[in-house]
């Protein structure tokens, strides 16, 4: 049985970049908010690495299960399935922490909205408004990714429970695999949307700095 698994799901996730900030006029206040939001995402990389390790470990456990005869290695399969479940639980915890970071960064970012109204340069204001729209799109993409990833974890746990059942049929396992795979395909699409929005955001940030005459 093939299992489509999104190994290192968030490794390729793009992060916001920060610059220098000085709290002066509305442009500098916005820059300060942008840099603060980017700084909050600084812990993201370490969490991603932990998530990758958990995913790789879990995939290895699953592969070990597939190497065994389900009808002759019940105890070993049950043990491996239990370990895989614990790994899935670990991934769930890590993903919750990642969401907390993204939520915090987003809540910090949207505080720049009041400062946008004070901008005098129309091009800088247009850039700032575009930044908000792009960040909203980025946050929406991550929210979908999070929802699908958590659902995929639940499907993984269900699969591991099925593998421990003595009389489980191949058809039952295959149906569960298809459900899981569909979620991971959605996750990949969500990840692509998130990364695309992040790259667009970082490019728009440079345009804002230019039109707001902010030196980096």
Residue 201's domain is classified under what CATH number? 1.20.120.570
pLDDT averaged per 10 residues, the chain (length 216) = 48 53 75 92 86 92 89 88 96 96 95 92 95 97 97 96 90 94 95 95 94 81
What range does the domain containing 63 cover?
26-211
Helix axes 74-109, 26-40, angle to 10 degrees: 170
**What's the pLDDT at 166?**
83
**What's the pLDDT at 15?**
59
Q: Is 3 left (phi over 0), alpha (psi -120 to 50) or beta?
A: beta
16 within some domain: no
**What's the pLDDT at 215?**
74
**What's the pLDDT at 42?**
87
161 within some domain: yes
Question: Nearest to residue 68, comparing CAs of 58, 57, 79?
Answer: 79
Question: Nearest to residue 168, comparing CAs of 93, 65, 91, 83?
Answer: 65
**What's the pLDDT at 10?**
47
44 within some domain: yes
Cβ 13 vs Cβ 153: under 8 Å:
no
142 within some domain: yes
11 within some domain: no
- Total domain count for the chain? 1
21 within some domain: no
């Amino acid at each position: 049985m093939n299992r489509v698994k999104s190994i290192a799901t968030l490794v390729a996730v793009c992060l916001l970049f920060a610059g220098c900030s000085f709290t002066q006029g509305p442009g500098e206040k916005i820059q300060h908010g942008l840099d603060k939001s980017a700084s909050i995402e600084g812990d993201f990389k370490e969490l991603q690495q932990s998530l990758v390790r958990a995913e790789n470990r879990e995939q290895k456990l699953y592969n070990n299960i597939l190497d065994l005869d389900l009808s002759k290695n019940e105890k070993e399969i049950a043990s491996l399935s239990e370990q895989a479940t614990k790994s899935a639980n670990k991934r769930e915890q890590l993903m919750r922490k990642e969401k907390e970071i993204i939520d915090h960064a987003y809540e910090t970012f949207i505080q720049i909205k009041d400062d946008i109204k004070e901008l005098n340069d129309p091009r800088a204001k247009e850039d700032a408004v575009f930044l908000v729209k792009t960040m909203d799109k980025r946050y929406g993409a991550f929210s979908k990714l999070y929802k699908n990833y958590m659902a995929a974890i639940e499907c993984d746990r269900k699969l591991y429970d099925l593998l421990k059942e003595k009389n489980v049929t191949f058809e039952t396992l295959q149906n569960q695999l298809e459900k899981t795979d569909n979620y991971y395909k959605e996750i990949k699409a969500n990840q692509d949307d998130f990364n695309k929005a992040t790259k667009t955001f970082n490019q728009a940030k440079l345009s804002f700095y230019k039109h707001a005459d902010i030196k980096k």
